[in-house]
Chain A
């Protein structure tokens, strides 16, 4: 076992179990015929994954910056490709996010998906496997396998169960992400030829020449920037979101986008630090453009889902901003924002999906004035929309505050523009909230939140308030890793 891995304290390979439990569920579903049984099996499989991943926290060593619960098996020996798994403070939170979001997302499809339920659930479970795999892989080839394999089920989710313009959206999604990924592949091979191994931790902080770092950063950067998505690579996102079924949007916003920022913080910063410093001004400018541009576009939207989609562009800008300040505050803020965006935007997409199931429209006007008709729904919608513009007391406030502090410490002008972005966010979210709550007077027959919907919204709401009021437990998990990362970068910069 290499030095960067800490042995797995459990008697069984816990990360492998977490990754492949959903896949086992998918295999079971293959033999089922009844739609209801299929849905229940999918839900239970993802619940099991959640349960196993909760065990991670029971034995997670908060004081270590190494990769924990390590597993290593030889895979393709002649090319030194290994099956290496391990999580540190950064990835354990994202694994958690994935396993938490997945069962709720599956629960939300109970009535929404009526056709080809079997294929749908299999796609979702395969995607969950691939998503957890991305965050746990410590070998580039393994990582790339999961990273790319995820595209297939996501593509099918949009292409088969999507809206009227699904052909265009799904193709654009696939082509965009793949064209970024092939450069990632070339960069991975380049790193292998230098290091002689595909192991990710062994490629970190190696002091490559600047020339080499420059090209590697570009190749990585394009792949991750498309995934985030950063301005100007964001155009696939609104298309994919508007056409995808609710659960597709939830996965896309909550987890797939995080892979881009995860890539930046895990690969770019620690493998090519000098190039990261060099490109930081560009990244920060693009992030700021994303924040403000995304916000301005949101102001003009009449489609609820599109609005939430564009707000993702703005929110992810904050994450990038935090990462490229290279400070501990920035990293903590970025990590928190990744989780917050996952929960808040995921929640908003679920809420949009709920109202769409009832009114079959995503236009703001058609869904306006719900305040008196569906009060419970309005409670959730209000909570998540104030969270989306970082209202104090909600989760995003904490994360955004960290990022803003880091931004101001780096450069006041940067901080100033970020603040403008935050104000714009308040404008469009409050505008949306106002219209949805009080926009129309007429009474319509719209059902309020059902028990099933209440069950999957409640934990997300609890999370919003918990992180908003008492973020310490979450920060504790990732602090050691982030402090270590900041220190390493500090060393390199001198």
Chain B
């Protein structure tokens, strides 16, 4: 059963589709969590599956299965983080769309043909367009955010289609295998590089890389915490996976493409970090941090080899955990449903030491300080970019690390060094366990990267 994870995710969504048709609104947390865990187990069990389906358009291999596990980890954790005070309306629909979006992403990481890439990408995007406005206390800004997301998403898809058209024109085939054969010929021409770059656009959009980052701050601010958590993490994992697949098309270093990626990376991290400095809204801040991290990710792609790609995969794994950790702190603190300002973190260490610790671990990891996973991931990216001879971008990234430290450290400073106002935050056993899980994951990814790196290395 090579397609088991996909079929299961589909069934997961169907269950909530039928539940959403009923009238009674029962709490569905236990059901959703159980189903998500089963999905995670299934994706783990089918990690060694392999096969080529649908006349070669759909490839199940170690690479895709690892990313499916990551996607399922992301989905499961988001479902676990979601709690009854969260202000998403229509809970069954929320789960349903999360499921469909994950389904699209799961198919995406296995697609090796342009049309199926497009279709799976759209399945995941349209589900997200639908859940962005699902917010109880909705304002015009929130609605504006969802419209923006829809428009930007559609435009980026359009650009991608345009690029795919060129790829097809060059290769006379929509299969990546055939395109790879022709790459030495068409990447030698500027137009070929342009075609590949245009094709990558939709994934730059998913990763919120400059210049397709405009949506991120508004969506993060406008969507509910749970939705933002999902959008900020899971689609980025799939986006990174497809970027790796597509740059692997190039096989050997392509200087023009590398140069373009360097420029995008440099702008993305510098812009993300500089604008991040002045943010007051926590989720907006994280949006800019995400833009900066999309830039860091590009460093691994520059080397066009397995090591670099493994570093990208490792970094996106770390990124998944550190972002989920930070968003979980946000979700637990903003029980009223309002967006959290940085000043709302004041005295968090007094109100809840565990939350403050989770926040600090995530913030230090995002900033890239050892012994957290953020450092180790960034280190691998730096080594690979440097090995490929791109010293300049490594230095830019290093300087950016320092810039970003200002606002990450600010989160820690506000929560630790200021005196608390307001009552302490009580956490249930379940919430504590999740906090511990995130903190430990971040530190383990920092100290013991070997197993994961070897795994990703094999998958490439």
Which positions in A face B, CB cutoff 8 Å? Answer: 75-79, 116, 119, 141, 144-146, 148-149, 151-152, 155-156, 159-160, 162, 166-167, 170-171, 174-175, 178-179, 182-183, 185-186, 189-190, 192-193
Contacts and interface: CB of A to CB of B under 8 A. Distances in A.
A305 B453 CA distance: 48
B336 interface: no
Contact of B371 (A145, A159, A179): A145
A182 B370 contact: no
A78 B454 contact: yes
Contacts of A155: 409, 412
Given A182-B399, A186-B394, A76 B370 contact: no
Nearest to B450: A76
A186 B450 contact: no
Nearest to A171: B409
Given A149-B370, A152-B364, A178 B402 contact: yes
Contacts of B399: 179, 182
A167 B413 contact: yes
B413 A159 contact: yes
Interface stretch (B114-122, B131-139, B205-213, B378-386): B378-386
A185 B450 contact: no
B84 interface: no
B382 A185 contact: yes
A204 to B, nearest CB: 21
B203 interface: no
B27 interface: no
Interface residues of B, number: 33
A405 to B, nearest CB: 40
Given A148-B369, A189-B386, A160 B450 contact: no
Question: Nearest 6 A-B pairs (CB), nearest first?
Answer: A182-B398, A145-B370, A159-B417, A179-B402, A148-B370, A149-B370
A76 B427 CA distance: 37
A124 B379 CA distance: 27
Given A182-B399, A185-B379, A189-B386, A78 B371 contact: no
Contact of B375 (A148, A159, A175, A179): A148
B162 interface: no
30 contacts: A75-B450, A77-B450, A79-B380, A116-B349, A119-B353, A146-B370, A148-B369, A148-B370, A149-B369, A149-B371, A151-B369, A152-B364, A159-B412, A159-B416, A162-B417, A166-B417, A167-B417, A171-B409, A174-B405, A174-B409, A175-B409, A178-B369, A178-B401, A178-B405, A179-B399, A182-B399, A183-B398, A185-B382, A190-B391, A193-B383
A189 B382 contact: yes
Interface in B356-400: 364, 369-371, 375, 379-380, 382-383, 386-387, 391, 394-395, 398-399
B395 A160 contact: no
A433 B395 CA distance: 48
Given A78-B307, A116-B349, 12 more contacts: A119-B349, A119-B353, A148-B375, A149-B370, A156-B416, A159-B416, A160-B416, A174-B409, A175-B409, A178-B369, A190-B386, A190-B391
B56 interface: no
B402 A182 contact: yes
Q: Which of B380, B382, B383 gathers the greatest number of chain A CB atoms within 10 Å?
A: B383
Contacts of A151: 369
A75 B416 CA distance: 33
A336 B253 CA distance: 52
Contact of B369 (A119, A152, A159, A175): A152
B382 A78 contact: no
B118 to A, nearest CB: 35
Contacts of B182: none
B18 interface: no
B405 to A, nearest CB: 6
Interface in B199-231: none
Contacts of A145: 370-371, 375
Nearest to A75: B450
B406 interface: yes
A472 B394 CA distance: 47
Contacts of B33: none
B193 to A, nearest CB: 27
Contact of B406 (A76, A119, A175, A185): A175
Interface in B330-357: 349, 353
Contacts of B307: 78
B450 A78 contact: yes
B148 interface: no
A185 B405 CA distance: 16
A193 B379 contact: no
A179 B370 CA distance: 14
Contacts of B379: 141, 185
B457 interface: yes
B214 to A, nearest CB: 29
A193 B398 contact: no
B449 interface: yes
Contact of B383 (A149, A166, A189): A189
A186 B398 contact: yes
Nearest to B457: A78
A149 B399 CA distance: 18
A76 B402 contact: no
Contacts of B369: 148-149, 151-152, 178
B65 to A, nearest CB: 21
